[in-house]
Structures are given as C-alpha cells and as structure tokens.
Structure 1
C-alpha cells in the first residue's frame, strides 16, 4: 500500500471520527424535553386539540405539575420510614399504623387533586374527545393507585 493511500485512508478515518465527535457533542448539548412536555405533546396529538385549547390545557397542566411534585415529595417522605425499616430495627405497630394512615391520607389527597385536574382538562376538550380522555386517564389513575397500594402492602408485611 502506497503512502498516498495510507494518508488518504487516515484522513477519511479522521473525518469520520470528527463527524462522530461533532454529532455526540451536539446531541449532548441539545436541551431535552421534560416528561411533562412530552406528555403534553402526546395529549395534543392523541386528542386532536386545537392550538387555543392546547394552550389552556398546558396552562392547567403547568399549574398542576407544581402541586403534583409537592404531593409526590410529601408521599415519598411519609413512605420512606415504612420502606426503610429493617428486621433488626422494626417499627412498632402503632408507629407503623400512624405512618401508614398518614401516607394513605396523602395518597387520597393526591388522587383527589389528580381527578379534579383531569375533570378540568376534560371540560376544555371537544365533546367527542372528552369522555375518551376521562375513560383513559381515570383508568390509568386507578391502575397506578392499585399498584402503589400493592407495593406498599408488600413492603409493610415484611
């Protein structure tokens, strides 16, 4: 192989490597959409919302996301002692019952706020999409609650 061919091969390889580095750098520097933004985009597409309706729904969602995040933190804080107990340091029955009751109330409040939010969003939707949205979202909410309750009962029975 001649020196010119080796040099040409090296230059091609170097160009490919530079292109890969450029692509990786651009991808890692690109701002990522939050899960909320992805969900809002899905909502707009799935339920065929016009721009005006979508703006109202997005405003409701952004206000609710703050409430939801706060409630999730409270539930996590209330749940942590129940999940972190060990066999060497078990919680007393009364402590466990009190923590479980507090956690249950927070979950009930969270579920109530979520249902209220879903109803507000549904009220903004076109009639033909409203009931499908409620059927989809309320069943998802119920499934999440059942899964949470199952997870909690499995951890607290230990």
Structure 2
C-alpha cells in the first residue's frame, strides 16, 4: 500500500487513466523520469488520455494546463511522503515501537497520506470538470480506484 502511494503520486502528476499508472511504475526520489515530467511532449499518458476519452483539442489543452499546474503540488507531496517514510523507517529499524516519536511518525505518515489523497482527488475532479459527463465518468471510473483503492483490495496486505 505504501509503495502504491508513491507510484500513484508520480503517475497522477499527469492525471491519467489507470492504464499508464499500472504500466509505468516509476518511484519518486529514486529517479525522476524526465520523459514523465517533460512539459514539451506532454507525456505519453496525456496522449493516451486524449485518444481514449476522445477529448477535443480545447479539452485537451485544458487537461494539459491542469497537469502542468498540478505538477509542483504532486512533486511537493511526493517529497513529504518520502520524508515521512524515511523517518518512520528509521524509527522502526531501531526496534522500539512504543515511543512517542514512533507514534508521532505514524501520525505524520497518516496525515501526509490524507493530504495527498485530498489534493489528488481535487485535481481529478477538476480535470474531469473540463470533460463531458460521459468522458468524466469514464475518467473517474478509471482513476478513483487507483487513488482510493477498490472494494476488492480491502484486507489485502495485512
């Protein structure tokens, strides 16, 4: 679940459909894929979104603008996630899981996760707002399970 959040945050930089998220799982912090953050090519996943949802040129321009506007937020969230994970990992490796510091690190990681999900959900709905109702439904049906998880995945990983 934690690894999925990092993957999701980077993939959603492009606010794409689930196809690209599950296909290209880059990890922030370990590398920044310049092709995934290249403002000039507008990313392969945006082209996929353009084709899959049959966005017209005006819609696609708006989606690109939203993507570029959200990119700094996504990268900032990614850095927060990495910092929270690093602190939690450090404390967990020390073995004493009953300290106030460990509890605080767990709380911080949870708070960062909530902050990321809220920002991402706002972005997804903002992006869907430039689409027709049918396109928006298709987009959200593909993206929301990636952000929130699906009912089928509940309980896995425990």
- TM-score bucket of the superposed structures, by smaller chain: 0.5 to 0.7
Structure 1 residue ranges (4+ consecutive) displaced by more than 3 angstroms after TM superposition: 84-87
1:86, 1:131 → 2: CA distance?
A: 41
Q: CA deviation at 1:54?
A: 0.5
Alignment RMSD, CA only? 2.7
Matching of residues 1-158 of structure 1 within 5 Å: 33-34=35-36, 37-85=43-91, 89-93=94-98, 94-143=100-149
Q: Which runs of 5+ in 1 are unaligned?
A: 1-31
TM-score, normalisation: structure 1: 0.65
Q: Give 1:135 shift.
A: 1.3
**More moved, 120-129 vs 89-98:** 89-98
Structure whose CA Rg is larger: 1
Is residue 63–residue 130 contact of structure 2 (8 Å, CA) maintained in 1? yes
- Using the size of structure 2 for normalisation, the TM-score is 0.65
1 or 2, which has the higher helix percentage?
A: 1
